[in-house]
Amino acid sequence: MKIYLSIIIAALVGEYLIRCLTRYFNLKAMVPDLPAEFDGFYDQEQYRKSQQYTRANTKFAYVSSSISLIVMLIFILMGGFNVLDIFVRSLELSPIPTGLIFFAILFLVSDWLSLPFSVYNIFVIEERFGFNKTTVRTFVLDKFKAYFLSAILGFVIMGSILYFFDKAAELAWLYAWMLVSIFIVAAPPIYTTFISPLFNKFTPLPEGELKDAIHQYAQKVSFPLTDLFIMDGSKRSSHSNAYFSGFGRKKRIVLFDTLIEQHSVDELVAIIAHEVGHYKKKHIFKGMMISILHTGLLFYLLSIFIDNRSLFQAFGMDEVDHVRIYAGFVFFGVLYSPIEFVLSVAMHYLSRKHEYQADAYAVETLGLSDSLILGLKKLSVANLGNLTPHPVNVFLNYSHPPVLERISAMRDVPIVER
């Protein structure tokens, strides 16, 4: 028991300290002088504001992560999981409903504890720097919609997984892996078709120069574009983005309304060319396959540890001779966190590599880098991006390369006359 408890506490505290040290390095890496590449894009006041935004988010992360760690350690050491387990078992339901109630209570408690931080981040920090467009009504409605979707998905997916581990013995991990793999493949079209419209309004891109330019580019690179939509991202934030979704011969491109407001037609086509590059380089497919393999590893290791009595004792559980499968999921998740941390670093590295490749594809197919570079500069300025993140922070946390490194790499892409 002491070994597992020591590993769990060391993992939680160790990751916390690494995150704190990384944030410290990141703050120290900020320089007062504007990088020459952004002359004419940031004035000194805007540049100072971007650094203030980074500092505000960093200080907020210090506070929120410290409180989260303290609450988690107290909950573990004071036997909080055991108290919850005693309560759900007192309902005298069968194992699957008992497990679902156990998960639901943990989810709600965690969400309610994080609620003040979410409110502060949106209505104080984002408001202070001019990004927040979310009203209290929208925030509350979003929260209830998220609860509704979580209840449905939790009942279907977690209920099925609990059933497998309760009935299928040593093959349970394989059945659970198959189920979640199907969900990973089906999730993008389900999200696009059913979930996203619950939160945002999607309007077909009107006829005009932008639509014609996007279709011309799609035809040029043989991208099977079927739908072009504008999303009301300004409903919640002035941050901007674009993405595509879909499988097979049907592809949908979605542009945030804030993105359209901030960029020229050439810049928007270049940003879309980057997204098309992800499709052409099979980055989405590769990411999906990695997720499926990662899930298989997770469930296999879970099957080994799920009935470990010492692990249950480490979390202060009574009656360890009677293993509760649902609790084993949670305990293994905490024990697995150091491996998950390492895997996340590897995935971030791969994601940054993919971003470079998508940038290069956009430059090559457009025949120039200027439009994409200009678009990235405007995106960075509009979002008050940190131009000089510390390399350690990039290594651990960045799914995209820093903007200055992306620009440098694009300038080195050889342009082939077409």
- Average confidence (pLDDT) over 235-263: 79
> Per CATH, which fold does 202-263 belong to?
Zincin-like (3.30.2010)
| Mean residue pLDDT across the chain | 89
pLDDT band at 322 (very low <50, low <70, confident <90, very high): low
Of residues 119 and 192, the one with the higher pLDDT is: 119
What is d(CA 165, CA 175) in angstroms, rounded to the nearest whole number?
9
Of 359, 364, 370, 405, catalytic: 359
Given a cut of 70, whether residue 319 has pLDDT beyond it is no
The amino acid that residue 270 corresponds to is: A
Of residues 121 and 6, the one with the higher pLDDT is: 121
Question: How far is the CA of 155 from the CAs of 103, 109, 160, 162, 382, in angstroms?
Answer: 10, 18, 8, 10, 40
Residue 152 corresponds to which tokens in the numbers above?
């449905």
Of 275, 355, 364, 370, catalytic: 275
pLDDT digit string (tens) for 190-206? 888 888 888 988 888 88
Is there a contact between 81 and 316 (Cβ–Cβ < 8 Å)? yes
Q: Which 8-state DSSP code applies to residue 133?
A: -
- Close Cβ partners of 20 (under 8 Å, ≥ 6 residues apart): 62, 65
* Of 117-126, 203-212, 285-294, 304-313, minimum mean pLDDT range: 304-313
**What residues are paired with 250 via a beta bridge?**
none
Residue 320 corresponds to which tokens in the numbers above?
């360890």
CB under 8 A, 24+ apart: contacts of 118-121: 120/60, 121/60
What is d(CA 188, CA 246) in angstroms, rounded to the nearest whole number?
7
The amino acid that residue 25 corresponds to is: F
Given a cut of 60, whether residue 321 has pLDDT beyond it is no
Is there a contact between 29 and 390 (Cβ–Cβ < 8 Å)? yes
Q: In terms of Cα–Cα distance, which of 142, 139, 75, 138 is closest to 109?
A: 75
Is there a contact between 164 and 172 (Cβ–Cβ < 8 Å)? yes
- Average confidence (pLDDT) over 316-321: 68
Is there a contact between 252 and 214 (Cβ–Cβ < 8 Å)? no
Given a cut of 90, whether residue 175 has pLDDT beyond it is yes
Residue 212 corresponds to which tokens in the numbers above?
């014609």
3-state secondary structure of 252: strand
pLDDT band at 249 (very low <50, low <70, confident <90, very high): low
Cα 382-383-386 angle, rounded to 5 deg: 115
Residue 46 corresponds to which tokens in the numbers above?
């805007």
Q: What is the pLDDT of residue 418?
A: 46
Q: Which 8-state DSSP code applies to residue 324?
A: -
Give the predicted TM-score (pTM) of the model: 0.89
Q: Is 359 a catalytic residue?
A: yes
pLDDT digit string (tens) for 336-385? 888 888 899 999 999 999 999 999 999 999 988 888 898 889 888 888 88
Of residues 418 and 266, the one with the higher pLDDT is: 266
Quote the radius of gyration of the chain (alpha carbons, Å).
24
Given a cut of 50, whether residue 312 has pLDDT beyond it is yes
What are residue 330's phi and psi, to 5 degrees?
Answer: -65, -45
Domain spans in the chain, listed from the N-terminal domain onward: 2-145+280-411, 202-263
Q: Is 275 a catalytic residue?
A: yes
- Average confidence (pLDDT) over 236-254: 75
Question: Which residue matches tokens 């998950």?
Answer: 340
pLDDT band at 246 (very low <50, low <70, confident <90, very high): low
